[in-house]
Amino acid sequence: MAYPPIEDHGVIGDLSTIALVSTNGTIDFLCFPDFDSPTCFAALLDQERGGYFALRPRGDEYSSKQMYLPDTNILLTRFLAETSLVELIDFMTISEEGEPQGLVRMAHVIRGTVEFDWECRPALNYARDQLRTVEGDNFVEFAGHSDAQSDAKVRFRLSWNLGNASAMRIEKGSGVAGRFTLQQDQWAYFVFEYPKDNEPQPNTSHEAMQLLLEETQSYWRAWIRQCNYEGRWREMVHRSALVLKLLTSKKYGSIVAAPTFGLPETTGGDRNWDYRYTWLRDSSFTLYALFRLGFTDESNQFMRWIKDRIVQSDGQHGPLQVMYGIRGETELDEYTLDQFSGYRGSRPVRVGNAAYSQLQLDIYGELMDAVYLATKYGDALPFQAWKNCQELITYVAKSWRLADEGIWEVRAGRKEHLHSRVMCWVAVDRAIRLAYKRSLPAPLEEWQLLRNEIYESVFADFWDEEVQALVAHRGAKFVDASALLMPLVRFISPADPKWLATLKAIERDLVEDARVYRYREQDREVDGLRGTEGSFTACSFWYAECLARCRQTEKAHEIFERALGYGNHLGLFSEELGPRGQHQGNFPQALTHLALISAAHYLDRDLSGDLGTWR
């Protein structure tokens, strides 16, 4: 069985985790029951050992088409042949309490008589555990063991409604498989779940399953109706919002950067990271997007999670970490899963993320920008939260000149990065604005002097006359694409000659079509990693928005449409694009969809003449 392209997948989720479903009807990636749980299906990382849940019509004569039911995260995969038409509906049910729920698979024959093959082969605990399968009445239970004599460590259950209609076989140590036939208008149902102790088997009758489908449809449609975006790219913005909602933990309020780990930035390479954590940077951008779109509940829930992180710390990397676990865990030790061969041979496969211990000074700017927005459009900060914000600014005042690993999380040693310096300015600027807006006590004169000093240093330390640009880090002779955020955070006027020169250098060195690279191969010493990477898709949308802010509206419109064209058949985006436009890196990536929403929002207003004089 060949590895499918990363882009040949849709995603479903229950606000606790996400499953990837390929266009051939196979669930080949699922961490269950939580985003950061070990995998039970990971064939996308190892076709032989990873585990999967396949359900499809028997035979090779079928073609497949995939879509979402309108305004939902319910995935519909249609299989079409000359004499038959089949639909496969995949979704996960939603709990109001945010507890993990079941994964539901429905097969329905619209035309013809169709024979189906199905296989459920979990590989539990990152395929490290032995699998024990116990058969019941229309269900099987899977238990994982570290050795043959140990007690069960994890337990999953697969139930169905087929009765004796399925020729089922249990294959010791690898799962269960079967075959069944449906006539026109007949349905088959499967529920894969993580049952609590003594929890009864789910009702898989036709009536009960259809009710679950209706309730899940109603949940998603009620949620997306809150969206206030009515612009030109409504469908794409809604899909991005639905993706961001899937990446949100309902129970904890945190937002993961992506639901996957180990998917390579270059096929066959070793840049294979674990993104199942909450980056303060990505999550702050998420809060900005949610506020823009009108999703105040998610914004407020995430701000509560953030406030729990804003605590005084004596850590060597400042009061805040770059990333946290979904529950706020602070230690995310990185190690490799040597039992996995990796996606198309891309090794090592890593879990955990060593970047959690890095110093990335830009996070203080993104965080204070998020706090400012939350307070501007919501409730005022509590007394203690403002005190904690003041402590953050005190830390920035002591640290803004430090070298750090920067936004791209380099592993080649610390440098004084342009983006980090700019975002330190943002941190102080937003604190000043917040103090004025809410009449909060603050050493405003001291902060204003600090803001001015940081501002002056950006041009003194990073402008290079030879390059004619603001360079990536102090002493560099090249640009990087994070500079595209400078006008977006209102550090610099988009009409400033130094900014226009920097944009020209970015276009010359980093832009191909609508694809934008973070930095180029000749600048590889910047990250200290072997191999290559693709273009960074979020940067494409930053670029489009920058052009619009520079009053290059027609060009911005074209770049934005070209960038949209690199999405998959469902409008989903991974982290990067390869030379043939193939998706690379973890999928789907929050930061890319955030950048899409921001660019769509600004560009639509620009094209409608709905912008003020300040850009």
- For residue 132, give both structure tokens: 């024990």
Q: How confident is the model at residue 359 (pLDDT cuts 50, 70, 90)?
A: very high
The average pLDDT across 598-609 equals: 95
* pLDDT value at residue 528: 62
* pLDDT value at residue 160: 94
The average pLDDT across 33-62 equals: 96
Specify the 3-state DSSP secondary structure of 235: helix
- Please write the tens of the pLDDT for every residue from 366-410: 999 988 988 887 788 888 889 999 999 999 999 999 999 999 988
CA distance 53 to 42: 10
* 146: alpha, beta or left? (left if phi > 0; alpha if psi -120 to 50): alpha
- Please write the tens of the pLDDT for every residue from 128-162: 999 999 988 889 999 987 544 444 456 899 999 98
- Residue 287 contacts by C-beta under 8 Å, 6 or more apart in sequence? 299, 302, 303, 306, 370, 373, 374
List the single range of 150-159, 477-486, 490-499 with lowest mean pLDDT.
Answer: 150-159
Q: Which of 146-160, 164-178, 197-211 has the highest mean pLDDT?
A: 197-211
**Mean pLDDT, the chain, as a whole number?**
92
Q: How confident is the model at residue 96 (pLDDT cuts 50, 70, 90)?
A: confident
Percent of the chain scoring above 90 in pLDDT: 78
Q: How confident is the model at residue 217 (pLDDT cuts 50, 70, 90)?
A: very high
- Residue 106 contacts by C-beta under 8 Å, 6 or more apart in sequence? 88, 89, 90, 187, 188, 189, 190, 209, 213
- Predicted model pTM: 0.95
* pLDDT value at residue 197: 81
- What secondary structure letter does DSSP report for 274? B
How remote is the C-alpha of 314 from its chain's centroid? 30
Domain boundaries, the chain: 9-224
* 468: alpha, beta or left? (left if phi > 0; alpha if psi -120 to 50): left
CA distances from 299 to 248, 284, 296, 327 (A): 11, 10, 5, 17
Query: Phi first, then psi: what are they for 372, rounded to 5°?
Result: -60, -45
Q: State the residue for tokens 């990505």.
A: 282
List the single range of 271-285, 452-466, 542-556, 589-603 with lowest mean pLDDT.
Answer: 271-285
> Does residue 554 or residue 523 have the better pLDDT?
554
Q: How confident is the model at residue 523 (pLDDT cuts 50, 70, 90)?
A: very low
The average pLDDT across 203-208 equals: 95
* pLDDT value at residue 149: 41
The average pLDDT across 447-466 equals: 98
* pLDDT value at residue 471: 97
Specify the 3-state DSSP secondary structure of 390: helix
- For residue 74, give both structure tokens: 């319910």
Tell me the torsion sign for CA atoms 584, 589, 593, 594: negative
CA distance 193 to 95: 13
* pLDDT value at residue 531: 67
Q: How confident is the model at residue 167 (pLDDT cuts 50, 70, 90)?
A: confident
Percent of the chain scoring above 70 in pLDDT: 94
- Please write the tens of the pLDDT for every residue from 554-602: 999 999 999 999 999 999 999 999 999 999 999 999 999 999 999 999 9
How remote is the C-alpha of 85 from its chain's centroid? 33
The average pLDDT across 199-210 equals: 93
Query: Which CATH number does 9-224 carry?
Result: 2.70.98.10
Neighbours of 446 (CB within 10 A): 13
CA distance 276 to 511: 29
- Please write the tens of the pLDDT for every residue from 113-123: 999 999 999 99
CA distance 311 to 444: 22
